[in-house]
């Protein structure tokens, strides 16, 4: 039994026992949520249970707790739980009860965001497609059919939580729930006109009538009626004010990064800016903030929305897609959380007193009797500043906040990172065949061709062009539009097939051969040069979706597919033939989907003949042994085009390594100072948006695994490789002006001695030790982790001192001062930079 399985069972057993120990009364006042009569500072993080696996949940939850969180927030995904009306699924990765229990067993609270609209870059915003077909329905407005279904599902979830005694009043971990989601945004609520406000009032009344015993929130809903708490979402929420003096200031989504799209670069958010945003929020009266996301995870199967949201939902979160701690983000935020919790007694006792210390400089003081905490902020984007506060002088880097738990001593500055950083990498290895490898196949692969055009008995014909989503009900990404035409003389040398569609992509086949494709905007108006024969010709158009729309007013009505016109231009004598209203034949989905090729056990797989490569519409299969070790596993799909992949019958999602990000827009370094937006810090320009795809370890067996691919446009499966993720290097860079470690605060206060800055290193895995020091410099080192360089000033003793202190140990700490390293240069601000390897 794997270690992860043992951990899972252990935490599950604890979870079964954990909810009879206490019952908590949860209310709120103008300062905070009040749990059993005490105001609480709450630091939360989003983990979406279907974006990881049940085997990963205990580790993700523990790493969240270790990072200083006391709340886990998750959406509830309607289309995962009720894929068919009245048929519910709460098993496996959909086991919401198990997830909530595990969070509680770890000693953390839960914020359950029922919605049931979730947005979340999730397919159709979390709504099941069958909802769209209810007669007379209009989503998210004062519409009786919609309200009836929304209430039925919301009540279903609430009743399930009550039955399992998961609300705080029953001894469970759920302290907060959410109804609706970002409805009050300026591009949403106003579009619904006069019916919007009655809908908001109804949703609030419906939710509170369910008697959960915990408060409800509505995010981005300035007109949320009492007693619903309106909350803030965004990169910054320090300026947010609730709509009532009786409600606390809560931040439900602090975007820790941003989502990735196929065809786009990879966004990231510097931790110095994220920490600044968190500190500013608590500085100005906030008492609950939530990272969206703390672990982003993976859009397995066809769950990604958008359209064009990538399979990876990493989100540059503190815990990465594979469950590995992202440093220095996780560690620096952990320090921020500790610093804030050192101030908790003062923060919950009173409101802040805000005063200016100069242009772009601000102090916030929380004082109640002898209890005092202060935050000093420099919101300027270019210049550091020195301020005088309570008779003492403080240095404030630009775009930073210093936290003073006793109104005197700085425990942390958000721009000064004490936490080590890491470089993660993927090690590639070829697929290892095992005893179950395919007989007769020199490549190790077998294949089946997917027929072009109509191949299923349930195809149907109809005059005109049909909208795709109404036709497929999202049972498949694919819809065939097929037509046979007779031409007396064939087409001319300049004949062009003109196709207009709503996207998301179109492949045009003429007489069984791929003639051209269009993706994204290029699919909306596509011109394909074609060669036609005299007599009968077949035109087969494969329209496909890449995740359904998840955001926007009336997003449920946004269509897809080929809506026309479809014309042949440039026929003989420059004539045009409009095909739009002709009798088209339609097929929903692929033959291979209907026959169950994805699990590898069905179909007549070819293995003796030559493996077709770079051919569209091809299914591939191979058997493989799992990579050795315990590091997270991925597949590098370089060499493939676009399609979907299954491991042992479970979909790891859509792959699309040929969709390349724009060459421009990325910077080698991103200045954290100044307001962040989703396009400010980008990487991976000119490269595939995603070439590496997560395969959960729990989906693998030691041997006898089956990988099945469906390739749309052509690729070479023999080029794909396994990739295992590991930490390549461990680094830290601490200056003489850094505050001491946050953990030393109590020791320093009690002993009365002044501690200095400390550089600490710790290997990420318990069984690892520091094997070498790759770089060490005390003086004026330059660069970043993996690319450090000595400056003009450097101590010759640094490397040997670090080797002696660290090599052979899992962790080490060393003071950053001339007392340790000597003084290589006077009157110069010095720092210590180190890069180490762990094995």
Give the integer Cα–Cα distance in Å for 622 and 601. Answer: 11
Output DSSP code: residue 431: P
Instruction: Looking at 517-559, list the stretches that DSSP marks H as alpha helix, in order from N- to C-terminal side.
Output: 521-524
Instruction: Return all residues near 724 (Cβ < 8 A) that are at least 6 apart.
Output: 426, 427, 429, 627, 629, 631, 632, 633, 634
Residue 830, preceding peptide bond in cis (omega within 30° of 0): no
Output DSSP code: residue 741: P
Give the SS3 label for residue 594: helix
Give the SS3 label for residue 614: coil
Q: Is 345 designated active site?
A: no
DSSP strand E in 282-438: where? Answer: 288-295, 353-358, 361-368, 371-378, 385-389, 392-396, 400-404, 412-413, 421-429
Q: Is 594 designated active site?
A: no
Instruction: Return all residues near 171 (Cβ < 8 A) that are at least 6 apart.
Output: 19, 20, 21, 22, 23, 24, 165
821: phi then psi, degrees, rounded to nearest 5: -110, -5
| Cβ atoms 67, 337 nearer than 8 A | yes
Structure tokens at 289: 């903030």
Structure tokens at 158: 């609430």
| Cβ atoms 657, 688 nearer than 8 A | yes
How far lies 444's CA from each of 430, 637, 706, 812, in Å?
12, 16, 11, 47
Give the integer Cα–Cα distance in Å for 302 and 295. Answer: 19
Active-site residue identified among 253, 321, 344, 712: 253
Q: Provide the 10 A C-beta neighbour count for residue 676.
A: 22
**Burial class for 329, CB neighbours closer than 10 Å (0-12, 13-18, 19+):** buried
> Which residues partner with 815 through β-bridges?
758
452: phi then psi, degrees, rounded to nearest 5: -80, 130
End-to-end CA distance of the chain: 25
Backbone Cα Rg of the chain: 29
Active-site residue identified among 180, 182, 321, 593: 182
Return the active site residues: 182, 253
């Amino acid at each position: 039994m794997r270690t992860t399985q043992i951990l899972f069972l252990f935490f599950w057993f604890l979870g079964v026992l954990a909810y009879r120990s206490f019952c908590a009364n949860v209310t709120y006042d103008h300062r905070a949520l009040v749990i059993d009569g005490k105001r609480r500072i709450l630091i939360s993080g989003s983990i979406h249970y279907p974006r990881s696996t049940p085997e990963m949940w205990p580790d993700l939850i523990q790493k969240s707790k270790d990072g200083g969180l006391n709340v886990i927030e998750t959406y509830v995904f309607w289309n995962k739980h009720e894929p068919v009306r009245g048929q519910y699924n709460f098993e496996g990765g959909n086991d919401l009860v198990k997830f909530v229990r595990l969070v509680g067993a770890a000693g953390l609270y839960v914020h359950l965001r029922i919605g049931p609209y979730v947005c979340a870059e999730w397919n159709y915003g979390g709504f099941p497609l069958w909802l769209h077909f209810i007669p007379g329905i209009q989503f998210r407005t004062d519409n009786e059919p919609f309200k009836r279904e929304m209430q039925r599902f919301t009540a279903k979830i609430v009743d399930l939580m009550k039955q399992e005694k998961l609300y705080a009043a029953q001894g469970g971990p759920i302290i907060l729930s959410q109804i609706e989601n970002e409805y009050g945004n300026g591009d949403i609520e106003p579009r619904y006109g006069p019916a919007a406000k009655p809908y908001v009032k109804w949703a609030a009344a419906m939710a509170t009538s369910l008697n959960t015993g915990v408060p409800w929130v509505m995010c981005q809903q300035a007109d949320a009626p009492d007693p619903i708490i309106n909350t803030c979402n965004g990169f910054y929420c320090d300026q947010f004010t609730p709509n009532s003096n009786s409600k606390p200031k809560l931040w439900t989504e602090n975007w820790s990064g941003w989502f990735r799209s196929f065809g786009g670069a990879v966004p990231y958010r510097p931790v110095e800016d994220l920490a600044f945003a968190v500190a500013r929020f608590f500085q100005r009266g906030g008492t609950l903030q939530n990272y969206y996301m703390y672990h982003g995870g993976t859009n397995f199967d066809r769950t990604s929305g958008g359209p064009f949201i990538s399979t990876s939902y990493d989100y540059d979160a503190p815990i990465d897609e594979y469950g590995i701690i992202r440093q220095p983000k996780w560690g620096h935020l952990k320090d921020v959380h500790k610093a804030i919790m050192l101030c908790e007694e003062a923060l919950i006792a009173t409101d802040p007193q805000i005063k200016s210390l100069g242009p772009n400089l601000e102090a916030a003081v929380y004082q109640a009797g002898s209890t005092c905490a202060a935050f000093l902020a420099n919101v300027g984007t270019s210049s550091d500043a020195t301020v005088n506060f309570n008779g003492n002088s403080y240095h404030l880097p630009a775009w930073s906040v210093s936290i003073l738990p006793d109104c005197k001593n700085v425990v942390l500055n958000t721009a000064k990172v004490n936490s080590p950083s890491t470089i993660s990498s993927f090690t590639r290895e070829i697929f290892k065949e095992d005893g179950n490898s395919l007989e007769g196949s020199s490549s190790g692969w077998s294949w089946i061709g997917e027929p072009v055009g109509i191949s299923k008995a349930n195809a149907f014909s109809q005059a005109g062009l049909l909208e795709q989503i109404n036709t497929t009900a999202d049972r498949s990404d694919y819809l065939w539009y097929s037509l046979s035409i007779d031409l007396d003389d064939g087409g001319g040398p300049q004949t062009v097939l003109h196709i207009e569609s709503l996207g998301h992509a179109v492949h045009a086949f003429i007489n069984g051969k791929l003639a051209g494709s269009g993706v994204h905007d290029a699919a909306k108006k596509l011109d394909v040069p074609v060669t036609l024969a005299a007599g009968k010709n077949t035109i087969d158009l494969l329209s496909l979706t890449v995740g359904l729309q998840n955001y926007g007013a009336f997003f449920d009505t946004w269509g897809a597919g080929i809506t026309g016109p479809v014309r042949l231009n440039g026929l003989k004598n420059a004539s045009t033939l409009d095909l739009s209203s002709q009798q088209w034949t339609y097929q929903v989905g692929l033959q291979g989907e209907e026959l169950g090729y994805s699990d590898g056990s069905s179909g007549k797989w070819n293995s003796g003949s030559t493996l077709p490569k770079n051919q569209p519409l091809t299914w591939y299969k191979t058997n493989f042994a799992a990579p050795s070790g315990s590091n997270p596993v991925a597949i590098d799909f370089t060499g493939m085009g676009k399609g979907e992949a299954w491991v042992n019958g479970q979909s790891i999602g859509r792959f699309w390594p040929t969709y390349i990000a724009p060459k421009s827009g990325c910077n080698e370094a991103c200045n954290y100072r100044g307001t962040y937006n989703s396009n400010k810090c980008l990487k991976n320009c000119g490269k595939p948006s995603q070439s590496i795809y997560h395969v959960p370890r729990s989906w693998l067996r030691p041997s006898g695994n089956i990988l099945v691919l469906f390739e749309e446009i052509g690729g070479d499966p023999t080029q794909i490789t396994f990739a295992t993720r590991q930490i390549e290097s461990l680094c830290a860079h601490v200056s003489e002006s850094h505050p001491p470690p946050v953990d030393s605060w109590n020791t320093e206060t009690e002993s009365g001695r002044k501690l200095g800055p400390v550089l600490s290193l710790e290997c990420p895995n318990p069984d690892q030790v520091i094997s070498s020091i790759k770089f060490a410099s005390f003086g004026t080192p330059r660069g970043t982790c993996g690319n450090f360089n000595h400056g003009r000033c450097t101590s010759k003793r640094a490397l040997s001192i670090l080797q002696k202190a660290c090599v052979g140990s899992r962790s080490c700490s060393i003071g950053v001062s001339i007392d340790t390293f000597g003084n290589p240069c006077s009157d110069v601000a010095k720092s210590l930079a180190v890069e180490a390897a762990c094995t």
